[in-house]
Amino acid sequence: MTFHSFGQYILYPWGYATIDTEDTHDLHAMGVEAAHAISRASGRSYSVGSASKMLYPAAGGSDDWAKGGAGIKYSYTIELPDRGQHGFILPAQHIESVGKEAHAAILAMLNFLN
Protein backbone atom coordinates (compact mmCIF):
# COMPACT_ATOMS: atom_id res chain seq x y z
CA MET A 1 0.00 0.00 0.00
CA THR A 2 1.39 3.32 -1.06
CA PHE A 3 -0.16 6.70 -0.34
CA HIS A 4 0.55 9.57 -2.69
CA SER A 5 -1.01 12.86 -3.59
CA PHE A 6 -3.15 13.92 -5.29
CA GLY A 7 -6.22 13.01 -7.35
CA GLN A 8 -8.58 10.77 -5.35
CA TYR A 9 -7.73 7.52 -7.10
CA ILE A 10 -7.27 3.96 -5.94
CA LEU A 11 -4.76 2.60 -8.42
CA TYR A 12 -3.44 -0.89 -9.00
CA PRO A 13 -0.94 -2.38 -11.50
CA TRP A 14 0.03 -2.07 -14.12
CA GLY A 15 1.33 1.45 -14.31
CA TYR A 16 4.06 0.87 -16.88
CA ALA A 17 1.68 -0.27 -19.67
CA THR A 18 -2.02 -0.41 -20.46
CA ILE A 19 -2.24 -4.17 -20.02
CA ASP A 20 -4.25 -6.00 -17.38
CA THR A 21 -2.88 -8.25 -14.69
CA GLU A 22 -4.19 -11.82 -14.59
CA ASP A 23 -6.21 -10.92 -11.50
CA THR A 24 -7.42 -7.46 -12.47
CA HIS A 25 -10.96 -8.41 -11.47
CA ASP A 26 -9.81 -9.17 -7.89
CA LEU A 27 -7.77 -5.97 -7.66
CA HIS A 28 -10.64 -3.89 -8.96
CA ALA A 29 -13.17 -5.49 -6.59
CA MET A 30 -11.04 -4.73 -3.53
CA GLY A 31 -10.39 -1.20 -4.76
CA VAL A 32 -14.12 -0.58 -5.19
CA GLU A 33 -14.73 -1.75 -1.61
CA ALA A 34 -12.12 0.73 -0.39
CA ALA A 35 -13.65 3.53 -2.48
CA HIS A 36 -17.09 2.84 -1.02
CA ALA A 37 -15.64 2.92 2.50
CA ILE A 38 -14.00 6.28 1.82
CA SER A 39 -17.26 7.65 0.49
CA ARG A 40 -19.09 6.51 3.62
CA ALA A 41 -16.40 8.05 5.84
CA SER A 42 -16.05 11.43 4.14
CA GLY A 43 -18.40 11.76 1.21
CA ARG A 44 -15.47 12.01 -1.19
CA SER A 45 -15.49 9.88 -4.30
CA TYR A 46 -12.43 7.99 -5.49
CA SER A 47 -11.99 6.47 -8.94
CA VAL A 48 -10.64 2.90 -9.13
CA GLY A 49 -8.54 1.36 -11.89
CA SER A 50 -5.10 0.52 -13.20
CA ALA A 51 -2.62 3.36 -12.97
CA SER A 52 -1.80 3.39 -16.68
CA LYS A 53 -5.44 3.49 -17.73
CA MET A 54 -6.67 5.95 -15.12
CA LEU A 55 -3.77 8.39 -15.53
CA TYR A 56 -0.96 7.59 -17.98
CA PRO A 57 1.71 4.91 -18.41
CA ALA A 58 4.68 5.47 -16.10
CA ALA A 59 7.42 3.04 -15.15
CA GLY A 60 8.97 2.65 -11.71
CA GLY A 61 5.90 2.63 -9.47
CA SER A 62 6.18 0.80 -6.17
CA ASP A 63 2.83 -0.91 -6.75
CA ASP A 64 4.15 -2.42 -10.00
CA TRP A 65 7.30 -3.60 -8.24
CA ALA A 66 5.32 -5.08 -5.34
CA LYS A 67 3.05 -6.97 -7.77
CA GLY A 68 5.60 -8.06 -10.37
CA GLY A 69 8.83 -8.20 -8.38
CA ALA A 70 7.76 -9.23 -4.90
CA GLY A 71 4.68 -11.22 -5.92
CA ILE A 72 2.28 -9.31 -3.67
CA LYS A 73 -1.21 -9.99 -5.02
CA TYR A 74 -3.00 -6.90 -3.72
CA SER A 75 -0.82 -3.90 -4.48
CA TYR A 76 -2.23 -0.36 -4.56
CA THR A 77 -1.40 3.30 -4.67
CA ILE A 78 -4.01 5.55 -3.12
CA GLU A 79 -3.85 9.07 -4.50
CA LEU A 80 -5.11 11.21 -1.63
CA PRO A 81 -7.35 14.30 -1.95
CA ASP A 82 -7.69 16.74 -3.69
CA ARG A 83 -8.54 17.26 -7.34
CA GLY A 84 -6.46 20.33 -8.06
CA GLN A 85 -7.49 23.14 -5.73
CA HIS A 86 -4.51 22.64 -3.38
CA GLY A 87 -2.57 20.00 -5.33
CA PHE A 88 0.38 18.46 -3.55
CA ILE A 89 0.16 20.85 -0.59
CA LEU A 90 -3.11 19.99 1.10
CA PRO A 91 -3.69 22.32 4.07
CA ALA A 92 -3.05 20.90 7.54
CA GLN A 93 -6.72 21.29 8.46
CA HIS A 94 -7.42 18.26 6.21
CA ILE A 95 -5.08 15.89 8.05
CA GLU A 96 -7.76 14.37 10.27
CA SER A 97 -10.28 13.78 7.46
CA VAL A 98 -7.65 12.27 5.17
CA GLY A 99 -6.50 10.01 8.01
CA LYS A 100 -10.08 8.84 8.53
CA GLU A 101 -10.40 8.10 4.81
CA ALA A 102 -7.16 6.11 4.77
CA HIS A 103 -8.23 4.18 7.86
CA ALA A 104 -11.62 3.37 6.34
CA ALA A 105 -10.00 2.20 3.10
CA ILE A 106 -7.54 -0.08 4.86
CA LEU A 107 -10.24 -1.60 7.08
CA ALA A 108 -12.42 -2.24 4.03
CA MET A 109 -9.51 -3.95 2.28
CA LEU A 110 -8.80 -6.13 5.31
CA ASN A 111 -12.47 -7.09 5.54
CA PHE A 112 -12.44 -7.91 1.82
CA LEU A 113 -9.60 -10.38 2.43
CA ASN A 114 -11.63 -12.13 5.12
Q: What is the pTM of this model?
A: 0.93
**Burial class for 99, CB neighbours closer than 10 Å (0-12, 13-18, 19+):** exposed
Q: Report the catalytic residues.
A: 79
- DSSP 8-state class, residue 47: E
Which range marks the domain in which residue 93 is found?
A: 2-113
**Total structural domains in the chain?**
1
pLDDT in tens for each of the 114 residues of the chain? Answer: 999 988 999 999 999 999 999 999 999 999 999 999 999 999 999 999 999 999 999 999 999 999 999 999 999 999 999 777 888 888 899 889 999 999 999 999 999 999
Which CATH number is 71's domain given? 3.40.630.10
